[in-house]
Amino acid sequence: MKKQNIPFEEVFDLFAIRIILNSAPENEKADCWRAYSIVTDFYRPNPGRLRDWISNPRANGYESLHTTVMSTTGQWVEVQIRTQRMDEIAERGYAAHWKYKEQNNRKGGGLDEWITQVRSMLESNDGSAIEFMDDFRGNLFHDEVFVFTPKGDLKVLPFEATALDFAFEIHSEVGVKCIGAKVNQKLVPISHKLKNGDQVEILTSNKQKPTEDWLSIVVTSRAKAKIKDALREDKKSAILDGKEIVQRKLKQMKMEFTSEVVEQLRAFFETKTAADFYYKVGRGTIDATTIKSFKEFKEERKQKVKPALEHARDESSFTKELKNLKGPEHDQLLLGEDMDVVDYVLAKCCNPIPGDDVFGFVTVNEGIKIHRTSCPNALELLSNHGNRVIKAKWTSQQEIAFLAGLKILGTDRVGLINDLTKVISNELKVNMRSITVDSDSGLFEGTIKLYVNSTTHLDNLMANLSKVEGIIKITRFD
């Protein structure tokens, strides 16, 4: 009643009658419809409640003819019509009926398709075991929609499947080039959800390429796997293109293409890995012409005395030397008060919050970025670009929320998640952005991203969470 949003009076299958026919395999369909005709001669059928799973068996092999008729007492009664063979499959499963099927020399039908689907899911699976099981259950035990190709071929898809799912069901090459579809001769987007009986024609373009958004559009595991494969190939291609562009630019500037130079370029453009740097160049996010500014910066540095910060080799020595910076070139940036005056952003690599020891770093295109002194990229950035460092400190800033991450380890028990979320949401009025959990052999491991006002606020939250029964360890992560 909740799922279909209907009152009790509209639940039709409170009382049902099943008619099982002793029928020869070649006469099954005709006999079932003959029985249906006899039933409807005596009782008025509900036209919206006819389910023909004989002409179109479900993917798990279920075959039956369902209808709902009005009894002489004014009560709706569901009538199920099937043969002995169909009833055996429905009650005991396809495997128990396999021998009967062989004796009658029938084709594999639904079972063969079902096994093919399972094999395809196993071969294409590249995610976690939990992800795979979710897809497995979602695709094999969910309601289905029956749709047709322009030539009339039947395709069975999970409930809420989209035009993009249908495209990948036809062929992976059709899926990756899909730009839209015609459903019952009407143009629709790739996200259009299909309904029973729809006739679908896929529209393609050689210029089309899959994007990350496509993963949220499709519901079948086949489509998801093919989209992920295409995205990986696309990224590899962009990385190779970016590498070629960098090599060409360095050659034009008469600079050697070495791992040391690439590492300096990576730090200069503030990317996490060399592959990320190549990818951004290949995609055009980093304009190839700006690589010239890297050479100019290196030549400029050679003419200057290396700043003291370049001698820092760990967090404590870096923090100590940062505090010793003096003079007009190293005026302190007050975070919070200067937000409207100075163009600065908080670095995503370490997510600093008020109370953290921080410094400012002058970037090429994004103004000043604020990093924690314990940022994993701090020493590497500063060893190459020490003269672009600005001292910074927090001012009072209680009204702005900052994103922080927590890793939680503990022993698994019923109600643990509920207790954690109560502390976060109810006691300290903290807003959560996301929570992920994993349980294995009685151990619970989770990550939570939430918004806090300062390190003091975060410390209080961690102290309260550590008091929850079963929690072993809580640490902050970037």
Tell me the DSSP string of 322-337: HHT--SGGGPPEEETT
Instruction: Provide, rounded to the nearest whole percent, the portion of the chain with pLDDT above 90.
Output: 15
CATH superfamily of the 114-227 domain:
Beta-grasp domain (3.10.20.30)
Taking 50 as the threshold, does the pLDDT of residue 218 lie above it? yes
In the predicted model, what is the mean pLDDT of residues 133-154? 72
Helices (H) and strands (E) in the chain, counts: 16, 19
Band of residue 283 on the pLDDT scale cut at 50, 70, 90:
confident
Contact indicator for 59, 144 with CB cutoff of 8 Å:
yes
* Residue 113 CA from chain centroid, whole number: 27
Span 236-241, mean pLDDT? 88
What angle, 0 to 180 degrees and rounded to 10, lies between the N-to-C axes of helices 221-252 and 274-283?
A: 90
- CATH number given to 402-477: 3.30.70.260
Q: Which residues contact 241 (CB under 8 A, 6 or more apart)?
A: 281, 282
At the topology level, CATH places domain 8-103 in: Beta Polymerase; domain 2 (3.30.460)
Q: Would you say residue 128 has pLDDT above 60?
A: no
- What's the CA gap between 88 and 90, in Å, rounded? 5
Residue of higher predicted confidence among 451 and 385: 451
Provide the residue ranges of all domains of the chain, joining segments of one domain with +: 8-103, 114-227, 232-302, 308-394, 402-477
The pLDDT of residue 99 is: 47
Residue with more model confidence, 110 or 369: 369
Tell me what the mean pLDDT of segment 282-292 comes to: 78
Question: Worst-scoring range by mean pLDDT, 108-117, 152-161, 260-269, 441-450?
Answer: 108-117
- Answer yes or no: is pLDDT of 246 > 90: no
